[in-house]
Amino acid sequence: MPLPDVTRLASLDDLTLTRLRERLVAIGLTAARVEPIVRRIGAIHPILRRPILQHHLRAEREPFAAAARALMFSDAVPRAELDPALGELLAPLLDAGLLAEGEGGLSSGFCLTIIDTLYVLTDDLSHGGEAVMGLGPVTTALAAFSAPRRRISRALDLGCGAGTIALVVARNCDHVIGTDINARAITVSRFNARLNGITNVELREGSLFEPLKGERFDLIASQPPFIPQSDAGKSGDFMRGGSRGDELPLALLGDVQEHLAPEGRAVLAIEWGSGPGLPTPAERVKGALGSATVDVVLLSAPPISTDAHAVEYAAALHPTLGPAYEREARDRRAHCASLGLEVMIPTFCVARRVDGRRPRFDALSTQPLSRVTPTSRRIDKLLEARDKTRTMATLIPATLRLVEGVIIREEQVGTGAGSETKLTAVMPPKALVEPVELTPLLLRLITCVHAAKNVSDAVDAYLAQFGDADRPEALLAKLAHAVLAGLLEVAD
Ligand SMILES: C[S@@+](CC[C@H](N)C(=O)[O-])C[C@H]1O[C@@H](n2cnc3c(N)ncnc32)[C@H](O)[C@@H]1O
């Protein structure tokens, strides 16, 4: 099936879109109703789960389920079943090509997705080519990491696809610009802004920062294409990051400082093809930033093998599997092998412009994305933690507390005389960072800090209790690390 004609969507006027939005909410087509159904079958691979989703939604027999089937999950619904859900809106939606009549009833050639209370129309990625990427786990996490907690003035969603991040950020930003090299993405994003009644998002077509000359932003959010791709590969714009996949992300990083306002923040979701002898993600980020005066926190999740990576993308492009899927998976895997790529390392790179201060670079390991609850509060806390631990003068008066939910686990390793106690900090189930191994000294220090008014009192208490085997500077350095690792946080 060809990509549906996106220009026809313009025939839906603002009033009809408002009524559509209100109708979807009224019939209960909300994240609260749909997510539990998707979550219930979460262990099944997305490519395989569609018939099971259809099964569960067909069993619901409620208007929201009929609308979800037709608009979200490409399941043809008889007109008589869809009528109670969409009523008089059916005709304009059919006219605009948002719904189409086919065998078995009405369904959409697009995919409607829901993020919080926003409706985001996207394409089915199996079309390849110009198909516009919408909501996946990385986009959802990036939106949550980026959404400003305090109102900001200007934000940029570079490579906006369906405009998801731009729309999320627009709630707390005066003016958001979304850009994309793909003209179809701009049309879809424009439609999505109208669908949600959002008027402070501006959309521009163009490559990287080319349509943004001389402009600066308080926030730049981007998930650039990062998929290793042979020249022969003909997949869509949403994947084309260069041969190793990092060419486009590196170019983006190279120009990011210039487009950040003072103290402005960039949050970039990038996966890095890696293997023996190749530069690490941290080395590549540092290299691309050069002498830029930005603080960086690079959050790296556990690597994904290029076997799993090749299967994932081949399946997304060929969901009906078969020979086309097999060829694609083999070609992708072979391309990775030809470049020595054994794993893809998913990262979130947070960069903040720090004119007049010495920039800092910290790399932290996180849990797998599926286990993390991403929020921009976490990013705020991380950056705040780095500010508080930047110098002795800022660390000493700070009040530090054990992060809520951290459990210190004590384990006896080995037997007899050689046995020793291993202490591990078990982070809360959805914590960002991986469990940290503690030394008994660090544990004692953390206990003192958790109970004290500030770090200065804690170090005094520690030295009084445990003697002065450690210099205060060494203790402070250990504390600074514990803050960054997410064991301790600066009290609000
Ligand atoms: C991985 S998708 C991310 C889409 C969206 N931001 C999201 O998170 O769902 C990458 C997007 O970057 C766009 N893109 C590719 N090359 C680009 C370039 N040189 N300049 C701007 N955008 C580009 C693609 O068209 C695609 O929409």
Pocket of ligand 1 contains residue 236 by CB under 6 Å = no
- The angle subtended at Cα 145 by Cα 406 and Cα 483, nearest 5°, is 35
pLDDT band of 198, cuts 50, 70, 90: very high
Task: Report how far residue 261's alpha carbon sits from residue 225's, in angstroms, rounded to the nearest whole number.
Answer: 24
> How many angstroms is it from 243 CA to the middle of ligand 1?
16
Mutate to test the pocket of ligand 1, among 238, 246, 256 (most ligand atoms within 8 A of CB): 238
Give φ, ψ of 132 to 5 degrees.
Answer: -100, 125
Q: Domain 115-357 is classified in which CATH homologous superfamily?
A: Vaccinia Virus protein VP39 (3.40.50.150)
Using CA positions, which residue lies closest to atom 27 of ligand 1?
A: 161
pLDDT at 143: 97
Record the pTM.
0.90
Q: Which residues, at least 6 apart from 252, have a Cβ–Cβ distance to it below 8 Å?
A: 158, 208, 209, 222, 224, 268
pLDDT tens, position by position, 407-461: 878 888 888 877 877 777 777 777 777 766 677 778 888 888 989 999 999 988 8
CA of 66 to the centre of ligand 1 (A): 32
CB 482 near ligand 1, within 6 Å: no
Both tokens of residue 327?
A: 């060829």
Nearest to 218 by CA among 383, 349, 351: 351
Ligand 1 pocket residue status of 122, Cβ below 6 Å? no
Confidence of residue 480 (pLDDT cuts 50, 70, 90): confident
Q: Are 257 and 265 in contact (CB under 8 A)?
A: no
Whether 175 contacts 200, CB under 8 Å: yes
What gap in Å lies between CA 460 and CA 451, rounded to an integer? 12
Question: What is the distance between the alpha carbons of residues 386 and 389, in angstroms, rounded to a whole number?
Answer: 5
Residue with tokens 């009523």: 87
> Contact 250/284 with Cβ under 8 angstroms?
yes
pLDDT, averaged across the chain: 90
162 alpha carbon – ligand 1 mean position (Å): 9
Rounded CA-CA distance 308/405 in Å is 32
Question: Does the structure show a pLDDT above 70 at 238?
Answer: no
Q: Give yes or no for residue 188 CB within 6 A of ligand 1.
A: no
The CATH 3.40.50.150 portion of the chain extends over: 115-357
Sign of CA dihedral 450, 455, 458, 459: positive
The pLDDT of 155-159, averaged and rounded, is: 98
Q: Which of 223, 227, 240, 246 is the best mutation target for the ligand 1 pocket, counting ligand atoms within 8 Å of the beta carbon and taking the most?
A: 223
- Condensed to tens digits (0 to 9), the pLDDT of residues 1-55 reads 789 999 999 999 999 999 999 999 999 999 999 999 988 887 888 878 888 999 9
Is the pLDDT at 234 greater than 60? The verdict is no
What fold is seen in the domain 394-490? Outer Surface Protein A; domain 3 (3.90.930)
H/E segment holding residue 309: helix 306-317
Residues 159-195 as b or e (16 or more Cβ within 10 Å = b): bbbbbbbbbbbbbbbeebbbbbbbebbbbbbbbbbbb
What is the per-residue pLDDT for 236?
59
Q: Say whether pLDDT at 188 is over 80.
A: yes
- From the CB of residue 308, how many other CB atoms can be counted at a distance below 10 Å? 12
Answer for the pair 355, 244: CB distance below 8 angstroms, yes or no.
no
Q: Which regions of the chain carry the CATH code 3.90.930?
A: 394-490
